[in-house]
Each structure stands twice: as C-alpha cells, then as structure tokens.
Amino acid sequence: MSEEEKRRQEILTTRAEHKRLSEIIIRGKDYHEIVRVRGIDGKEYDIGIHPLNDEEFVAACAAANIHLPPGATGTDLGTSVKLLSALAAAITGDPKIASVLAPLETAKIGGKVLEISGISSGPKPESTSS
C-alpha cells in the first residue's frame, strides 16, 4: 500500500469515527449502548450505558480520588480499575454495583463509558473478562 493510500485510509477512518461521535453528541442521553456483564451469581446481564457529560466524569474521577492536571487527555487516564469502577457506579446509579458483579466486570462498563464518551478507547474486553 502506498503512502497516499495509507493516508486516504486514515482520513476515511477518522471521518467514520467523527460521524459516530457526532451521532452520540446529537442524541445525548438518548444514545446508549449495551454492555453484557457477569454477576456474582454466574448469570449474564445487559446494562444500558450512555456517554458521560463533563460533570458526571468529574464526579466519577473525584469518587475514585483521581485528580487530573489541567489539559489532561483520555490517554492520561490509563485503565485504573478504581476509576473504571467509579464510572460504572456513576453510569448505573448504583454505588455498590461492583459488589454484585464478578471481578473486573465493572471495567467492561467503565471502559465502554470512556469509549462512547470520546474520552478514551478504554480497555479491551478481552483483558477484563474472566
């Protein structure tokens, strides 16, 4: 593949992602995606999640005792299990969500929240499933 073809492919990929994020922004809280998680009972459950706004994100970071410097980006977040659990609690409205899910299942929820909020690509589901 030539450099020109590679660049063209990068542009098309960027356009597709911008289109997806534009749809999410326009639909706001109406936009949601489903994350399938495993409970401590061994059963699977579908949880609907939506993108976080700034206030929700800041509150989740504060709950996880994570303080990002001004100008920080999604890549500065890393994949802190504490942050991902705080995001899962924020998005589900259940501060004890981690107590009813199998280990690291909150990371699936938190990672997807970061992804659809346009903050980070989040952790790969393969790295969080048991």
Contact between residue 84 and residue 111 where contact means Cβ atoms under 8 Å apart = yes
Q: What is the pLDDT along the chain (130 residues), one digit of tens a residue?
A: 789 999 889 888 888 777 766 776 666 667 788 999 999 999 999 999 888 877 888 888 887 787 766 666 555 555 577 888 888 888 888 889 999 999 989 989 988 888 888 776 544 433 333 3
What is the pLDDT, as a whole number, of residue 74? 56
Residues 75 and 91 in one domain: yes
Amino acid at 79: T
Residues 50 and 100 in one domain: yes
Say how many domains are in the chain: 2
Residues 16 and 51 in one domain: no
pTM of the model: 0.64
Residues 39 and 100 in one domain: yes
Residues 38 and 100 in one domain: yes
Residues 2 and 61 in one domain: no
Residues 25 and 36 in one domain: no
Q: Can you give the residue range of the structural domain that contains 23?
A: 1-29
Beta carbons within 8 Å of 67's beta carbon, 6+ residues apart: 61
Residues 70 and 101 in one domain: yes
Residues 69 and 115 in one domain: yes
User: CA–CA separation, 78 vs 67, rounded Å?
Assistant: 13
Question: How remote is the C-alpha of 100 from its chain's centroid?
Answer: 20
